[in-house]
Structure 1
Amino acid sequence: MTADGQRIYSVWTRPRPAREQLSRGQIVSEAVRLLDAEGIESLSMRRLGARLGAGATSLYRHVANKDELIELVVDEIYGELEVPDADDPAGWRDAVGHGARSLRATALRHPWIASVLGRVGLAGLGPNLMRTSDRMLALLEAAGFAPAEADRAMSTVVAYVVGTATGEAGHLSLLARSGQDEQAWRESLRPAVERAMEEYPRLRQGHSARDGDPRAIREETFEYGLQRVLDGLAARLER
């Protein structure tokens, strides 16, 4: 609630404080550094205030709680996305693919984000998310989609990327906690995996086909799915 009794639903609808001991940018930057270093479990208003050399009270002038802080840090991360300009309608597929790969790469640089995407309130009001969404819509409209369908097409691409990247981010977080690199972790699990698959020949065959560099396999798997999503959008345009 504001001083005059108005309910606040999101950090993006909260009035900015008239006087700032700390700027919103300082708070967000330090929160991202904390999250990247120690994960979502480490984030608290008290802990962040200590890192900034200020009490939690100073933070509460900007955000009412941890959820509002997460709204800010998620939008900060969306600011890293690269979405090309819509200056070549014929190249829409490569441009949308570039934006999708950038979204995945951003999520993997900040694997903690996978656990908070469902609790970011009115995330669509964040300036970085609004900017990148608008650029993606411009690409799809230039390709030939009507505005309403461009929005659905964008949501389809984003849902694929976020779903895939969430699983990858969880996997990478587990690896980080184990202290092993990806290849060593995979090899350590191989005997248990092979025993579990003894009665499932199709799973064994699929698992054998995924032998090799785990990172390269993740890249190939993501690219396969992305291209099939883009195939579907291209076929829709042709119709």
Structure 2
Amino acid sequence: MPADEQPIPSVWARPRREREQPALSREHIVAEAVRVLDEEGVDALSMRKLGNRLGAGATSLYRHVANKDELFELAVDEVYGELPLPEPGAAADWRETVAHVARGVRAMILRHPWIAAKLGEIGLAYLGPNVLRQTEHMLAVYESAGFPLDEADQALTTVLAFVLGVSTSEAAWLSMIARSGQSEQQWVERLWPAAERAVRDYPRLRARFEAQRDGDPTKENDASFEYGLQRVLDGLQSRLG
């Protein structure tokens, strides 16, 4: 088969197959896949395990989803459906609207830490209906605020890159703590002596560690995210003069 006739490996690039098994819908499969990912992580998901949880064989799943890569595309779009959509007229306060959605993206990643590991390797996930809907609404917000459409697209990408970068690291940290069976505060307390020894020859780092010694890690993470988000929005605001 010529290269230009090869099928594109994405669930969004082929017609949806008819349901041959009415009791087992694609929506049902995806919802259960998200539960597995939330409970056990990326490495635990397999078509066989999913089939067992659904009371069906893996072959039955393949009637609806071609492979595990497609399953991940569908799972990512499913959780994107949790994000808030801007209300009509939201451009009147575009900064707060963008900030509200950015906080929603961060919260979504922290609820579903597995998504952080998959966002960079899920093919044509940007063609999923929930991702497309979110993108269209946000482009409208930026455009109504005064950005030309091409720059609105770049602004959207810039904010999303910031949120994904910060939230991916945060999700990885929280996942590691969750595997330990301890709270974040307990983990920080255990880590502290080693951290103090590591920074004793670095006065600026030592001062920062000491300032954070008795802080609440969750509140500090929230404050750090908010600081970075507002500085990104400051930069975009300057483009509007």
- TM bracket, shorter-chain basis: over 0.9
Percentage of pairs with the same residue = 62
8 Å CA contact 2:92–2:145 kept in 1: the answer is yes
Which residue of structure 2 lines up, in the alignment, with residue 236 of structure 1?
239
Which residue of structure 2 lines up, in the alignment, with residue 36 of structure 1?
38
- Structure 1: which 5+ runs fail to align? none
The one of 18, 25, 28 equivalent to 1:26 is 28
8 Å CA contact 1:67–1:119 kept in 2: the answer is no
| Residue 149 (1) aligns with residue 151 (2) | yes
Which 4+ stretches in 1 moved above 4 angstroms? none
8 Å CA contact 2:19–2:63 kept in 1: the answer is no
Q: What do you get for the CA RMSD once the two structures are aligned? A: 1.4
Instruction: Identify if the C-alpha distance between structure 1 residues 54 and 183 changes in structure 2 by more than 3 Å, giving closer, same or farther.
Output: same
Matches within 5 A, 1:193-204: 193-204=195-206
Q: Within 2, Cα distance between the matches of 1:209 and 1:86?
A: 43
8 Å CA contact 1:83–1:98 kept in 2: the answer is no
Residue by residue over 1:69-117, the C-alpha shift from the partner in whole angstroms, topping out at 9 and shown as x without a partner, is 1000000010000132250433000001001000000000011111111
Matched to 2:156, the amino acid is M
Q: How many residues end up aligned between the 2 structures? A: 235
| 218-227 or 59-68, larger mean C-alpha shift | 59-68
Matched to 2:58, the amino acid is A
Q: Output the TM-score relative to the length of structure 1.
A: 0.95
Matches within 5 A, 1:97-112: 97-112=99-114
Which residue of structure 1 lines up, in the alignment, with residue 228 of structure 2?
225
Which residue of structure 1 lines up, in the alignment, with residue 191 of structure 2?
189
Which residue of structure 2 lines up, in the alignment, with residue 87 of structure 1?
89
8 Å CA contact 1:85–1:139 kept in 2: the answer is no
Q: Within 2, Cα distance between the matches of 1:18 and 1:90?
A: 44
Q: Output the TM-score relative to the length of structure 2.
A: 0.94
Determine helix, strand or coil for the equivalent of 1:116: helix
Which residue of structure 2 lines up, in the alignment, with residue 17 of structure 1?
17
- Structure 2: which 5+ runs fail to align? none
| 8-17 or 48-57, larger mean C-alpha shift | 8-17
